[in-house]
Chain A
């Protein structure tokens, strides 16, 4: 079969792609372009047509006057943003939280998927999957409220346990050094189960034969996980990581806002909460467009940078 296939495929591609004229190439793939068309219309209409909104960052946009009648202010909003005395504190807090997120949260769904994949009792496996994905549907308001109940120093369950063993209580909610662990802990609790969905789909493409072959080779459980399961996830992991980096500077505004208080604000203020408060007193449009543009530029650099790196090490990357 292998031989036949090669002969046939030579016939199908009578000319090497790069020798065809543009028109021939378009014509050959005309069906594919028809498939693309609705998507292209969508992106043109709902993504690119509104793109003028990003230019608000260079204007003093007033909704009532409209875009054209509002004054151009050039880089003023960017100057205000970068010269803000709090800029470096905001940048530091945002970056540290983003790094925590990548280091501690990003691998969590992968590990959980690997563990779930090792369960062989179908009903048990499916039940576990269902339970772990429930927190995704809880609102941050409820999660903040439950966190308070568990973590407060006035009779919180976790602090009761901590003080039973150490004799001391920990101010999880008020001390700056606990702010980031609490935030990341909440994210891990809420989103890990949800994050496994996509990896479990990727694992569906691993054929049983691959495991069988590994067993024939005498591979134990961990080696099978390492040599069969994990490689099957690799390209998905890399794609998700690159995409995540595109939103590197975005943080869950509502979560952080709810967990911030007077005693931990110095580490809790991030770009997203800052923009929200600026919006309250200043009218969000132009200023938040400027901050958004800044975050987007950072994001696009990270996307292309990691994509380049991924290709360097022989991975597929985004395109």
Chain B
């Protein structure tokens, strides 16, 4: 690999996107992004309605798909130079992902869900001296009752509890970047505020970068910075998702 080939910027940017163009195969939807930088340890709110290409942007940042042209650096690594398998590995090692809802494998317990990323990331596993204890600590810090975490299948948890388990799972092994896609939209207002508090606590402790997508502008003042997706990306056609 060309680790030293291009001047890396590991200390300034968690995500650095330049002049990318992407279109989904078999779809009319395409997107271009001229420049998108997320400094390390920043808490960024990405505002946008669904259909505006946020899923596409997140897929690109997470390395699930590769742009047709341009450059994406994530945690100092140029994604466009990596194979799909190496991008998967990079995602496992560097990024914790939280979805809108139904984050968990319903048949596994919460603690087993929390431990899944370590299966795919040797780097994050190496940061956990005792994975099970760390998972329990995280769950406790997120206010989840212990017996619920160890004894119940995830499908028995409330939506709010499931979202907190998802935070614990994203945070285990302290990845550099947390990507959260509308994580509060299924929660009521009080739970939303609590959730954001807990998420910020964890992100601050791990010194991770947070990229959170939402359509709710009222959340903006809690973040370091907020960006309108429409200012960032130019799209044409209808997004597949």
Are A and B associated in one complex?
no
B contact residues vs A (CB 8 Å cutoff): none
A contact residues vs B (CB 8 Å cutoff): none
